């Protein structure tokens, strides 16, 4: 892959390029936020049957499952769903309780690791690249992301962020113009949606990630899925 060439491409050009480059060895990782919905819609217009996977932590809002069904029907896509290991979850909850994430940053990250990071590694185990909806504008922890990165945390595969330089306004403009389905929680003040207990609506003027793990300081607000290297 020509990294310098790829970094200069717009989102549509980059999607076509990486799907041609990696074929069946690349997939869109979706949590069904608006950025992921842009990528699914865009890829479905450009590529026949793009691969899509998601991580079901077991603590997702019902609205997310409803959107997942709409996506399956509208785009006629198979969505590969990865669940956490049952024994790991049972041991964690037995030891720390079902709401351990409120007790400390370390326990919250443990929960994320078992429910998200480990399933992600299984999802990526047979891929050469994965596509994410990360944007630099989303949070302080994402301000330096590139459109193309080497993901050292996941075996050195490629991580593609076609919307890295998009603004929130651009995302919503695409959603509205193309009648893309989205999570109904967005209309209730939830700009960023994750697990139900760890997500709340934000107040006017608050940061778009303020509703995720709101009891923690901003520099801690990642779940471990996006802690790979850069290139």
Considering the domain boundaries, does residue 223 fall inside one? no
Q: What is the pTM of this model?
A: 0.88
Considering the domain boundaries, does residue 67 fall inside one? yes
Considering the domain boundaries, does residue 113 fall inside one? yes
pLDDT, residue 231, reads 45
pLDDT, residue 26, reads 98
Considering the domain boundaries, does residue 211 fall inside one? no
**pLDDT category, 226, cuts 50, 70, 90?**
low
Query: Closest Cα partner for 210 from 187, 194, 225, 228?
Result: 194
Tell me which residue range forms the domain holding 107. 3-189
pLDDT digits (tens, 9 = 90+) for 33-57: 999 999 999 999 999 889 999 999 9
**pLDDT category, 230, cuts 50, 70, 90?**
very low
Does 225 or 44 have the greater pLDDT score? 44
Residue 167: give its domain's CATH number. 3.40.50.620
Considering the domain boundaries, does residue 216 fall inside one? no
Considering the domain boundaries, does residue 215 fall inside one? no
Q: Which of 111, 132, 198, 223 is catalytic?
A: 223
**pLDDT category, 219, cuts 50, 70, 90?**
low
pLDDT digits (tens, 9 = 90+) for 141-175: 677 899 999 999 898 999 999 999 999 999 999 99
Q: How many domains is the chain built from?
A: 1
Average pLDDT over residues 208-226: 66
Considering the domain boundaries, does residue 201 fall inside one? no
Question: Across all residues in the chain, what is the average pLDDT?
Answer: 91
Considering the domain boundaries, does residue 108 fall inside one? yes
pLDDT for 90 beyond 80: yes
Q: Check if 223 is active-site.
A: yes
Does 219 or 91 have the greater pLDDT score? 91
pLDDT digits (tens, 9 = 90+) for 95-113: 999 999 999 999 999 999 9
């Amino acid at each position: 892959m020509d990294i310098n060439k790829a970094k200069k491409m717009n989102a549509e050009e980059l999607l076509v390029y990486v799907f041609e480059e990696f074929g069946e060895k690349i997939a869109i990782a979706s949590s069904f936020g608006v950025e992921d919905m842009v990528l699914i819609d865009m890829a479905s217009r450009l590529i026949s049957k793009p691969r899509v996977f998601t991580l079901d932590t077991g603590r997702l809002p019902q609205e997310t499952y409803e959107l997942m069904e709409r996506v399956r029907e509208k785009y006629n896509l198979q969505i590969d769903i990865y669940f956490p290991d049952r024994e790991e979850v049972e041991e964690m909850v037995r030891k720390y309780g079902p709401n351990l994430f409120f007790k400390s940053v370390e326990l919250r990250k443990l929960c994320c690791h078992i429910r998200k990071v480990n399933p992600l590694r299984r999802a990526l185990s047979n891929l050469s690249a994965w596509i994410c909806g990360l944007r630099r504008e989303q949070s302080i922890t994402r301000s330096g992301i590139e459109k193309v990165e080497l993901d050292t945390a996941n075996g050195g595969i490629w991580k593609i962020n076609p919307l890295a330089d998009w603004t929130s306004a651009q995302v919503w403009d695409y959603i509205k113009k193309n009648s893309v389905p989205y999570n109904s929680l967005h209309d209730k003040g939830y700009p960023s949606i994750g697990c139900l207990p760890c997500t709340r609506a934000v107040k006017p003027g608050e940061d778009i990630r303020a509703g995720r793990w709101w009891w923690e300081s901003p520099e801690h607000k990642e779940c471990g899925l996006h802690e790979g290297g850069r290139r």
